[in-house]
Structure 1
Amino acid sequence: MRSLAIAATLLLAGCASAPAEVATVPAPPPAAVPAEAAKPSVALQYLYGSPEAAVAVRATNARIADYGVWRIKERPKDSVVLAPGAGVDAPRFEPCGDKPFAAVFDADETLIWNLGAMRHFAEKGIGFDLKVWDQWEKTGAGKAIAMPGSVEMVTRLRAAGIAVIANTNRTAANAKGSEDTLRAAGLGEFKHGETLFLMGDDSGGSSKDLRRATIASKYCVIILGGDQLGDFSQQFNAKDLPAAQRMALATGVAASALWDKGWFLFPNPVYGPWEKLGWDDAFPSDKQWEPK
């Protein structure tokens, strides 16, 4: 999780003074006019509260379910998990053989919206706090909700014989809490080590590549879903990868052949590696404009 910001409303109060030549007892300052309650940041408003986001997420989930049901009609030769040593720009994939089918998803902001924790961070005006998040992983069941259309999506995939697996950077130490959270959100049963893979399950740390390889050794993975590019390949998160190269990698010919054709990305304007972008990363300098 990355840092969260909350907009604050400032209270402005004025105080009228009595004329200097009149000796008076100072009057109490006028009562402040109640200010509008502080609102969540625009990113939080959009993702968790807007019908625009709900429609977009539901449509993505519908595409995933349709794709999965269609894809298994003709057994694919390869999965959509990159083989060890392969890159997004020169992809090779784990072979399927006769392995059972699976769809692999991130959990946070992909299967569930973490409403309880996100509101806490935002209302307190604090950034991501690892100790607070640890408590959330343990006790957040019932305070996170399934994203629009995700229950219907996982239900359709399972009915078609496709295993639904979560590969998330929640911690292995809190596996039971994550199992409880997914179940309470209506997404059914996830079992650590079988259909739930967590940070700490291997030596990869926050990289999900080793966990994806482990899953692909047992399943023909026909779908990857996530809200961050790292949910598809750690290559996108390579240290010191320039913003322009990351953009080119994600939008190049090889990656474009996978988006919505096995790789499915959910909108998340709240947190991600892109938070470090500067003006010239988001707005090319040759496109600057000023009114005259």
Structure 2
Amino acid sequence: MNYYPEGINFTDRKFATLNEIKSAIASGEIIEGKVLLCDKEHNLHIDLGIMSGIIPRCEGALGIEEETVRDIALISKVNKPVAFKIVAVRQDDYGNDYAVLSRRIVQLECMRDFISPLECGDIITARVTHLERFGAFIDIGAGINSLIPIDMLSVSRISHPRERVYIGQIIQTVLRKKEEHKMTFSLKELLGTWEENASMFSVGETVTGVVRSIETYGVFVELAPNLAGLAEPCKNLEPGQRVSVFIKSILPDKMKVKLVIVEAFDDFDSPAELSYFIDSGRISHWKYSPDNAIKLVETKF
């Protein structure tokens, strides 16, 4: 069974008959529905069509019952899709049928069958759920979150993850580090080596780039997420600003691209869809630097 990030293949499932509900219970089908309400007891309410469904607070997420996860994990799900199984049909005080749902069961199965067997170097599909200055939180399956630290989002340095990814974006990511209760993922190893990125540009071209940092000795301009060059100092620029740059030289042994800023534009960078050089399978070693480079930059999984 495939355990995808919540919302990646979302269809708001509705049931027309009680028999359909019973069939879903018997088969253990994983269903997705949009949360309409988080009540004062922090139970999640979902419309199933023929009847309403309720995910009790303790079944809303792994760690809620153990008090290792705060209730904000439930409150924040309103108007968002969640994965669940229907476990029973009961009647309320007015004699109306409602379905008892469990998201926790789906997450337990996802942990057992998909996430726990993952090894460092495995590439998976994830969904960006939240951004903080230190990194991007991602749903790696059934609403289970992990982190891509900011320095693992690309080789080109950024000041905030929103410069590289956006909330709701579906990305490929690689498992970088696995600990007992924590997994750390990375993106940069999938975005190409220095040579792969440099091969997209030629000396003498004028191309668009993004100002990433301004130093006293020059301006770093990003040409691609894993490739930046240095231009001579230029006044009245801001990080994130788009510029056109003339490519003066490309030096593989020093992993340097020398640029000349031609023109600055008023628009600022927003994250674009990513281009991958690797997007599936497993990698055990990734070397960013060219063979003849003075400095070795690599990742061993």
Q: For the superposition of Structure 1 and Structure 2, which TM-score range results when normalised by the shorter chain?
A: under 0.3
Higher relative contact order (CA 8 A, sep 6+): 1
TM-score, normalised to structure 1, is 0.26
TM-score, normalised to structure 2, is 0.26
Relative to its length, the structure with more strand (as a share) is 2
